[in-house]
Structure 1
């Protein structure tokens, strides 16, 4: 039993010793390498690695017979003067701790043949169609090789693709020698670029890649370290589609810009938007930034009434997109007038400023003109701004001339649009750049040149007119009309036009009188014919006899209302033509016997006897022809407003 305990104790000591040796051995250096970064360097770098570094461990580097002690890092730099470069030497490194000491395997190397480039840093990328160009700081002028691992960023499940290729050789100044030129450039901090092109990729996709490089000229080249993972976004080949909304704030314009974000592939690695404002009074009244950066897809700014250009550009780690240009023309007043009491020597408020924009044929120049560059006889748009609540505000605008002169051109396209004795004259205004001042009026002159020459007559008309009607010109005459613009400095060239007025028309008096008489007789004849046609088509209807109730006695009202009208049998005898000479019916007697209201009670009773007496008494009157008899019979059937059906008895 005691023996077993001793064995267990020895086994524990052995395990502890083994763990101590393993722990100390893990701090032993390995992979010792000594090299130069390029052939121009005069400093060698020695690097080694350890699995785990304990506290208080130091290193002793041995290169040949030259020791370099008490190194606390895992690398050390040595000047070439202290080393043997042209023959092999042994190199090793010793790690010394508190309770241990460990030395790396000893190696024999020729230092001058060993070159190890730095890992590529600050890699620039650029798409060229579907080829990706990569550039970074060159290490040597000699060609080199590169190992590149590529993976689609949006397909992480795909494996990395290894690409081996040569780096484009850098060419130095041939007159001074390639090597000398490169080394001088490196010593001056001017590093040329290494370039490599990866072909057959898609510029609309994003990628991830890593690069390391190695010299192709050194006898014992070493691979550089790997570059950090580089994210390659898709190309920004389209400018942002910007929508603009402008709101007027009484001298200030609020401009809101919105645009659609870039594609996810183009946004890999981050995207920002650059907003540049130019041509406004941003730095005139208010000292504000004109180059702004935002991560959002909207932007709001405030500008004055003068001309403004806004550029919106998307930027990723690859490059900038084409810029979207938003042009806001000057917002001019509808009744823009000439500047009053505006001089170049006039001093403004401290927080105010003014701008001049040269007037062109297409409108104001997008760029303002400095005061010292203003020219005589040239029109300018004058803007005066102030800064209010950190926003530019336009408080005045007008047309400005540094110095005025007479117009240099005549009114354009002067024409006559009528040849009467009161023609209308039209023209187009003088081009603004040819006016050389503010027009006060137009001078219009006319002179008759045939049949007799008369003196010239001139008059002033408004400068705002583009049409004018000439009055009191003679018929059948030839005139010369001239028109010229006038400023406060005098009149300009004249535009002229010659035309003939229409001759006076002769009126034939006898022809007019004949036409008038013919018209009178024609209307009279037509009236007579129409009346006769009317009588034949629409014969006249006799008016009914209406009794007169004006002499009605109120005392007999009750009796009359209660009475009933009675009509006796009426027999009309048709007279034969042979009896017409003996029969005569006096007019007015047919109705006397039927008017009961005026004759009394006897008139209310009419019978065959009364009718017979009327016919007998008619024999003593004048003989009536057949037409009169028909008329009397027609009157009889309308007696007292009643219609009688008269049927002649057959003989």
Structure 2
């Protein structure tokens, strides 16, 4: 009987039996251990196709040396774990799996292997990944045997699943970290997967691929944070609203997380931390200063951090009396409450009255020890501090500010005087004076008022006022002005100024007119006295009338430029016109009439032309002068000495008592060259008619 069962098993190993068409043969079983250690158990796995509901599986092992069988019932699972004590490790085995349900059964093909040489590492776990400019650095967790392995890395750019993978192989050493690097483009994000296989093993198998590792771009910049603070209705706490922009798409591959660090309770020694994935968050804060730090992380690393400093509410300049009463009243109510309530005292030194110049100090105090800030804090004398009293009913509730106020441990008088005391406007009956406030470090106490004095009359000015107007003053009067700051301990040094008021405009107008008249008279006298001096000086400065100077030039024949003479010959015909006494008398009368009309024009000629004309007339003969005298007497008109140059150019007619008609008839006019350019007329007797030109 046993022989028959063995024969059936052998036949099923050679060729799978299918009792029913619904039975689908499983795949070849794969058996392996997760490391190279000898005490590791083995896992055998197989797969099926089709609907195998209700089938049970049996795993068979046959020793190829002695033919001994081993079977293991896997029930309805698709895997089975073989303990290393239950199997032979150093011999060759035939392994297959059989599926059966009722009378239906089928078997897979067999696999030959040695179990001690069958190793399949689990999928690698990347425990560290960093990205440089063009390199991806990966570090995987070593397998259980801490031995080296063969690694295969595949990677591709994100955003396109159809893109082909790029591969790189790497080998690690025993007992050393499994590190490797991949060269990538700087401006691209990548998807990376890793698998490995044992070294020096005959039946080593590749592990499964690791989960996708996304390598985004490096976060080079801190988050750009926008924030806003809202005061709550009770005015004892605030809400800080934060928002920031996400990084670029390449840097957001694989997701981005944001890490916030802040302090809501000032007395906490450690800040609260929060990690979120959204880009908005609200934080409850007190009325004092707050600070929030935020940075982003992705698969490539951390971004630089961004710190948001939220200033406190505006500081009070003085501590209101009702605030102290309010604090005492609330403390008395809390003391009657049985629940534990804690207070947080926070204080810091003010450098300029509004900003702190040193880090804030905090101290927790229970209601039993809470009395006064000056008893709790260590403070300097004459230095202004600012403190807050924060309250938190329970750790789960948000804190709020109960009280805030400026404080001095010890006060004194101001150290310096008010600055820049100036009279900005002044008139005959009023003036306005202004000054600069005393700096807070020099006050050495709370400023209560300013004492302003005008020539001995003093009055107090509120501490927030730095200008004052005085009216009903006396015109043209000297006034002494002084101002000093005052604290609860007394007055500080005063600042002084002396000023004169102007004169009354009604009395000033008459005096001004008198001065104007006096000055005008003096100016006129000065001008009259200066005129003769100016005239004499101008006459002395005018140049003398120049006289013509004829320079004597020595004649030098060698320096003369001689041109060859040129001669022109003109043919001139002279006609002798016989003149009758009637003709001469008519012409003489016409000439006298024309001379009488043009006599007035000749009087306006210049003296130089008269002198030239006299010289020309002097060159004539005595007979011509006598004839001119006779003609003038006959016309009975005053003749212009330059009458011969008139445009009419009347021929000269000389009538003498000694002349005869023959002489008159025989007078001829002869052309004579003058200056080589034009003719002049000369009257000659008839016997000279043969004269050539």
TM, length-normalised to structure 2: 0.49
Would you say the 8 A contact 1:125–1:318 is kept in 2?
Answer: yes
| Alignment equivalent of 2:290, drawn from 297, 308, 326 | 308
Instruction: Identify if the C-alpha distance between structure 1 residues 527 and 237 changes in structure 2 by more than 3 Å, giving closer, same or farther.
Output: closer
| Alignment equivalent of 2:348, drawn from 353, 358, 376 | 358
Secondary structure of the corresponding residue to residue 41 of structure 2: strand
**1:80 aligns to 2:79 (yes or no):** no
Aligned to 1:322: 304
Instruction: Identify if the C-alpha distance between structure 1 residues 275 and 426 changes in structure 2 by more than 3 Å, giving closer, same or farther.
Output: closer
Secondary structure of the corresponding residue to residue 112 of structure 1: helix
Would you say the 8 A contact 2:29–2:95 is kept in 1?
Answer: no
Instruction: Identify if the C-alpha distance between structure 1 residues 48 and 79 changes in structure 2 by more than 3 Å, giving closer, same or farther.
Output: closer
Map 1:140-179 to 2 at 5 A: 140-167=145-172, 170-171=175-176
Aligned to 1:269: 254
Would you say the 8 A contact 1:309–1:327 is kept in 2?
Answer: yes
| Alignment equivalent of 1:376, drawn from 371, 378, 381 | 378
Secondary structure of the corresponding residue to residue 43 of structure 1: coil
Instruction: Identify if the C-alpha distance between structure 1 residues 294 and 207 changes in structure 2 by more than 3 Å, giving closer, same or farther.
Output: closer
Instruction: Identify if the C-alpha distance between structure 1 residues 392 and 45 changes in structure 2 by more than 3 Å, giving closer, same or farther.
Output: same
Aligned to 1:293: 276
Taking the aligned partners of 1:440 and 1:528, their CA distance within structure 2 comes to 60
Map 1:405-424 to 2 at 5 A: none
Per-residue deviation, 1:235: 2.4
Instruction: Identify if the C-alpha distance between structure 1 residues 399 and 290 changes in structure 2 by more than 3 Å, giving closer, same or farther.
Output: farther
Aligned to 1:227: 210
Would you say the 8 A contact 1:274–1:314 is kept in 2?
Answer: yes
Per-residue deviation, 1:224: 1.0
Per-residue deviation, 1:226: 1.6
Secondary structure of the corresponding residue to residue 264 of structure 1: coil
Aligned to 2:57: 58
Taking the aligned partners of 1:25 and 1:211, their CA distance within structure 2 comes to 37
Cα deviations by residue, 1:162-208 (Å, 9 ceiling, x for unpaired): 1112247654xxxxxxxxxxxxxxxxxxxxx6433222333x42222
Taking the aligned partners of 1:93 and 1:302, their CA distance within structure 2 comes to 67
Per-residue deviation, 1:316: 3.6
Per-residue deviation, 1:217: 4.5
**1:116 aligns to 2:120 (yes or no):** yes
Would you say the 8 A contact 1:305–1:332 is kept in 2?
Answer: no
Per-residue deviation, 1:392: 5.6
Taking the aligned partners of 1:331 and 1:75, their CA distance within structure 2 comes to 69
Taking the aligned partners of 1:416 and 1:23, their CA distance within structure 2 comes to 111
Aligned to 2:105: 100
Secondary structure of the corresponding residue to residue 205 of structure 1: coil
Cα deviations by residue, 1:72-121 (Å, 9 ceiling, x for unpaired): 33333333333433x32314133141322525425142x33433210123
Would you say the 8 A contact 1:151–1:160 is kept in 2?
Answer: yes
Taking the aligned partners of 1:526 and 1:29, their CA distance within structure 2 comes to 133
Per-residue deviation, 1:398: 0.8
Instruction: Identify if the C-alpha distance between structure 1 residues 144 and 381 changes in structure 2 by more than 3 Å, giving closer, same or farther.
Output: same
| Alignment equivalent of 1:256, drawn from 238, 241, 249 | 241
| Alignment equivalent of 2:133, drawn from 85, 109, 129 | 129
Per-residue deviation, 1:57: 1.8
Map 1:162-201 to 2 at 5 A: 162-167=167-172, 170-171=175-176, 194-201=178-185
Taking the aligned partners of 1:280 and 1:307, their CA distance within structure 2 comes to 11
Q: Structure 2 stretches of 5 or more lacking a match? A: 1-15, 366-372, 423-433, 450-459, 467-483, 494-512, 528-693
Aligned to 1:32: 30
Taking the aligned partners of 2:437 and 2:519, their CA distance within structure 1 comes to 57
Would you say the 8 A contact 1:359–1:380 is kept in 2?
Answer: yes
Per-residue deviation, 1:56: 2.5
Aligned to 1:238: 221
Instruction: Identify if the C-alpha distance between structure 1 residues 486 and 168 changes in structure 2 by more than 3 Å, giving closer, same or farther.
Output: farther
Instruction: Identify if the C-alpha distance between structure 1 residues 529 and 236 changes in structure 2 by more than 3 Å, giving closer, same or farther.
Output: closer
Instruction: Identify if the C-alpha distance between structure 1 residues 346 and 226 changes in structure 2 by more than 3 Å, giving closer, same or farther.
Output: same
Cα deviations by residue, 1:269-307 (Å, 9 ceiling, x for unpaired): 3334444432566999xxx98636252x44444433211
Taking the aligned partners of 1:486 and 1:334, their CA distance within structure 2 comes to 16
Aligned to 1:587: none
Taking the aligned partners of 2:462 and 2:516, their CA distance within structure 1 comes to 57
Secondary structure of the corresponding residue to residue 222 of structure 1: coil
| Alignment equivalent of 2:197, drawn from 195, 214, 229 | 214
Instruction: Identify if the C-alpha distance between structure 1 residues 215 and 386 changes in structure 2 by more than 3 Å, giving closer, same or farther.
Output: closer
Secondary structure of the corresponding residue to residue 85 of structure 2: helix
**1:89 aligns to 2:117 (yes or no):** no
Per-residue deviation, 1:147: 0.8
Secondary structure of the corresponding residue to residue 30 of structure 1: coil
Would you say the 8 A contact 2:344–2:364 is kept in 1?
Answer: no
Instruction: Identify if the C-alpha distance between structure 1 residues 23 and 365 changes in structure 2 by more than 3 Å, giving closer, same or farther.
Output: farther
Cα deviations by residue, 1:130-170 (Å, 9 ceiling, x for unpaired): 21122332214332221111111123342111111224765
Would you say the 8 A contact 2:25–2:108 is kept in 1?
Answer: no
Aligned residues: 429
Instruction: Identify if the C-alpha distance between structure 1 residues 265 and 246 changes in structure 2 by more than 3 Å, giving closer, same or farther.
Output: same
TM, length-normalised to structure 1: 0.52
| Alignment equivalent of 2:74, drawn from 71, 75, 78 | 71
Per-residue deviation, 1:356: 0.6
Per-residue deviation, 1:328: 0.6
Would you say the 8 A contact 1:149–1:209 is kept in 2?
Answer: yes
Taking the aligned partners of 2:519 and 2:485, their CA distance within structure 1 comes to 64
Would you say the 8 A contact 2:19–2:106 is kept in 1?
Answer: no
Secondary structure of the corresponding residue to residue 362 of structure 2: coil
Would you say the 8 A contact 1:311–1:326 is kept in 2?
Answer: yes
Would you say the 8 A contact 2:119–2:203 is kept in 1?
Answer: yes
Instruction: Identify if the C-alpha distance between structure 1 residues 21 and 61 changes in structure 2 by more than 3 Å, giving closer, same or farther.
Output: closer
Instruction: Identify if the C-alpha distance between structure 1 residues 425 and 265 changes in structure 2 by more than 3 Å, giving closer, same or farther.
Output: closer
Q: Structure 1 stretches of 5 or more lacking a match? A: 1-17, 172-192, 419-423, 443-460, 468-482, 497-518, 534-651
